[in-house]
Amino acid sequence: MDNNLQHYASPYYDPQKAHEYYMRTRELKGRRSATKLSDEGKKVWSYTKNEIKAEKKAKVEGEQEKRKQTITALRERASATREQISARLKELNDALTKRASRKKEAIDSDKKSDLEDIEKTSTAEKERITSKTNSAIERLMAEKIPDSLPKAERAKRIAEVTRKLPSCVRIRKRQNRK
């Protein structure tokens, strides 16, 4: 393996010749001054310099105009997209509001119908209990206790009937006696 470090792999490169050329031309040459030029040279120099500046300025202005147009187009697209998103959000919000109101109406109607069902059921149950109680009361009241019984036996039977009667009827009976 070759341990030489080669910077330039061309077969025509001669490091000795390259060093000699460097030593011959190593003096730095500064910028050329326009003050040493003749009047005509100064005019040419000025014209060339102005042309280069104008060309650069035209390129920069062209790029700035392209950039402005691109920015304007992007802003218009962004504005249109923003409007579309806003419209879509408004549609979705309206749909959600309508859906919520429909659900609320459905819940209210279900609640109302449930309450009506409960009220009907409770009314029917109350009527059934009332009629059952009334029939039991009528049956107990219809039961005649004979007057011929001894007083103790008669009081015992009246106490049994009174005990079997619901408390509300007993209270009414007591109130009616007074």
* pLDDT tens per residue across span 99-122: 999 999 988 888 888 888 888 888
What residue type is assigned to position 66 of the chain? K
Does any domain span residue 85?
no
- Beta carbons of 35 and 42 less than 8 angstroms apart: no
The total number of structural domains that make up the chain:
1
Does any domain span residue 151?
yes
Tell me the percentage of the chain whose pLDDT exceeds 90: 34
Does any domain span residue 10?
no
Tokens read off for 176? 């009616």
Tokens read off for 113? 């119908």
pTM over 0.85: no
Does any domain span residue 154?
yes
Does any domain span residue 5?
no
Asked which of 52-61, 62-71, 117-126, 165-174 is least confident by mean pLDDT, the reply is 165-174
Does any domain span residue 134?
no
pLDDT band at 19 (very low <50, low <70, confident <90, very high): very high
CA quadruple 121, 126, 127, 128: dihedral sign: positive
Does any domain span residue 172?
yes
The residue segments making up the domain with residue 160 are 143-178
**Burial readout 42-73 (b: 16 or more C-beta within 10 A, e: otherwise):** eeeeeeeeeeeeeeeeeeeeeeeeeeeeeeee
Distance CA 20, CA 24 (A): 6
Distance CA 33, CA 41 (A): 11
Does any domain span residue 167?
yes
DSSP sequence for 28-52: ---PPPGGGS-HHHHHHHHHHHHHH
Say whether pLDDT at 174 is over 50.
yes
Distance CA 178, CA 139 (A): 24
pLDDT band at 1 (very low <50, low <70, confident <90, very high): very low
